[in-house]
Structure 1
Amino acid sequence: MIQTKDITKTVNTSEGSLQILQPISFQVKAGESIAIVGASGSGKSTLLSLLAGLDEVSAGEIFLDGSPLHTFDEEQRARLRGDKVGFIFQSFMLVQSLTAIENVMLPAEIAGLPDAKKRATTILEQVGLGHRSHHYPNQLSGGEQQRVAIARAFIGQPKILFADEPTGNLDAANSVKIEDLLFDLNREIGTTLVLVTHDSELAKKCDRQLQMLAGELTEVTENARATNDAASQGVAHGS
């Protein structure tokens, strides 16, 4: 689903070129959940932006569901994001002048999907906010706003969902709800999930963890979830 080969990111500063990401190569399978972890400034969010096509690589290759993202211009990347990608921002990024249902409908309407309102109503009910659909963001709690953001990201049933610190602005109770929701939708729809997080417990719930340090991918850890899923499949095949 995602394949990277020696991707780097370099920016120009007043003191010269600064390489934010060293050459990074890895693959993500369809339906897999991946956590990108590391200290602040390690390059996690930069890597996520490159994978989602929100930024351009300086060198290297990224293939997103077979599409050569590294060769695309902004218009082509935007079209690909609209067709295949959902993105959840840490700061929610809801349109304050739109109600919850209008925020969720927005990407579906831009993409020209049929029955946008019906789709939005259904997914808001899935995330437990059917009764809040006509409230504006400033009338919702942080946890509710994040659930609206998740509903918006999932309305087009994207093949890949990227999430940048999806629980970073939430209290413990709401964090658990959001985590459960992300993985429930990941399983139900089969969406590939790639998230950046400082939360070690959330990272452990993913199939794998990619550890970042000073712009380098230093370690790939397979979690218990992936091991358990493989074991379950083995039992099922053997029965």
Structure 2
Amino acid sequence: MSQAPLMIETKNVTKKVTTNEGELQILHPISFQVKAGESVAVIGASGSGKSTLLGLLAGLDEVSTGEITLDGEPLHSLDEEQRARLRGEKVGFIFQSFMLVQSLTALENIMLPAEIAGLPNAKKLANDILVKVGLEHRAQHFPNQLSGGEQQRVAIARAFITNPKILFADEPTGNLDSVNSKKVEDLLFALNKNSDTTLILVTHDSQLSEKCDRQLRMTAGELVEQQPRLKVVSGD
């Protein structure tokens, strides 16, 4: 069996910002690889650099030093316009705060990335995925008319509509109660499996992280551990 190709490769990636107190190093040199179709959880305490790393991997921010290759493209050497093109073609992103457009309905929010990508059947795609996330009856509701769990499902549907090669999710269950967390968790992995989309998520939820193929643990801006999921083998 041939080995899955690499979807992401990072080499000595760092991130520094300038503050009133001087230069602050948020990420120390980080190197790792993610195979196509793999699910990876980035875990660690608040302030460990998880969300910063996720933003760099998705091309939402620029590295200070080092290299990030995303599906064969050198993300670290692209300008903002080129990174935006790459995100539109290959990346889905689920924000912790949903980031839905308040003036658009659920259906219109989901259609938006497909319209930007120039897909001719955006409305049909959006209606189809609304059914998959169980929200077809809420299609014409605005975000402020939806519960937190419903908004998160809209955000997930929006991220999946262009069938991205890789999906990033920042605390996808962080704002939800246990019932809606379970729904979103099941949805993420079902869509991930059915679409063969690489999944990288930041989470404090141990139950969610343990479902991933691998866990990357961060401490104070450093990658300190790469742990594969334990496989349960039944005995005779």
TM-score, structure 1 length as denominator? 0.94
User: Which of 37, 51, 61 does residue 43 from structure 2 map onto?
Assistant: 37
Helix, strand or coil at the partner of 1:4: strand
User: Which of 27, 34, 56 does residue 50 from structure 1 map onto?
Assistant: 56
Q: 1:164 deviation in Å?
A: 0.2
Matched ranges for 1:66-145 at <5 A: 66-145=72-151
Q: 1:8 deviation in Å?
A: 0.2
Q: 1:122 deviation in Å?
A: 0.3
Task: Tell me which residue corresponds to 1:186.
Answer: 192
Task: Tell me which residue corresponds to 2:217.
Answer: 211
User: Which of 59, 65, 77 does residue 59 from structure 1 map onto?
Assistant: 65
State the alpha-carbon separation in 1 of the partners of residues 192 and 122 from structure 2.
Answer: 21
Q: Is 1:220 equivalent to 2:226 in the alignment? A: yes
Q: 1:14 deviation in Å?
A: 1.2
**What is the CA deviation profile of residues 130-160 of structure 1, one whole-angstrom value per residue up to 9, with x for unaligned ones?**
1111111111110000000000000000000
Q: 1:62 deviation in Å?
A: 0.2
- The alignment of Structure 1 onto Structure 2 pairs a total of residues equal to 228
Q: Is 1:146 equivalent to 2:133 in the alignment? A: no
Helix, strand or coil at the partner of 1:212: strand
The one-letter amino acid of 1:89's match is F
**What is the CA deviation profile of residues 43-73 of structure 1, one whole-angstrom value per residue up to 9, with x for unaligned ones?**
0000000000000000000000000000000
Q: Is 1:170 equivalent to 2:154 in the alignment? A: no
Q: 1:161 deviation in Å?
A: 0.2
The percent of aligned pairs where both chains have the same amino acid is 75
The RMSD of aligned alpha carbons is 1.1
Task: Tell me which residue corresponds to 1:156.
Answer: 162
Q: 1:94 deviation in Å?
A: 0.5
State the alpha-carbon separation in 2 of the partners of residues 82 and 196 from structure 1.
Answer: 21
The one-letter amino acid of 1:209's match is Q
Q: 1:93 deviation in Å?
A: 0.6
Greater percentage in helix: 1
Task: Tell me which residue corresponds to 1:22.
Answer: 28
State the alpha-carbon separation in 2 of the partners of residues 55 and 73 from structure 1.
Answer: 10
Helix, strand or coil at the partner of 2:67: strand
Give ranges in structure 2 of 5+ residues lacking alignment.
1-6
Q: 1:15 deviation in Å?
A: 1.4
Q: 1:114 deviation in Å?
A: 1.5
Q: 1:13 deviation in Å?
A: 1.0
Task: Tell me which residue corresponds to 2:202.
Answer: 196
**What is the CA deviation profile of residues 178-237 of structure 1, one whole-angstrom value per residue up to 9, with x for unaligned ones?**
00000000100000000000111110000000000000000011013xx46xx8xxxxxx
State the alpha-carbon separation in 2 of the partners of residues 208 and 8 from structure 1.
Answer: 22
Runs of 4+ residues deviating >2 angstroms? none
Helix, strand or coil at the partner of 1:184: helix
State the alpha-carbon separation in 2 of the partners of residues 158 and 114 from structure 1.
Answer: 17
Give ranges in structure 1 of 5+ residues lacking alignment.
232-239
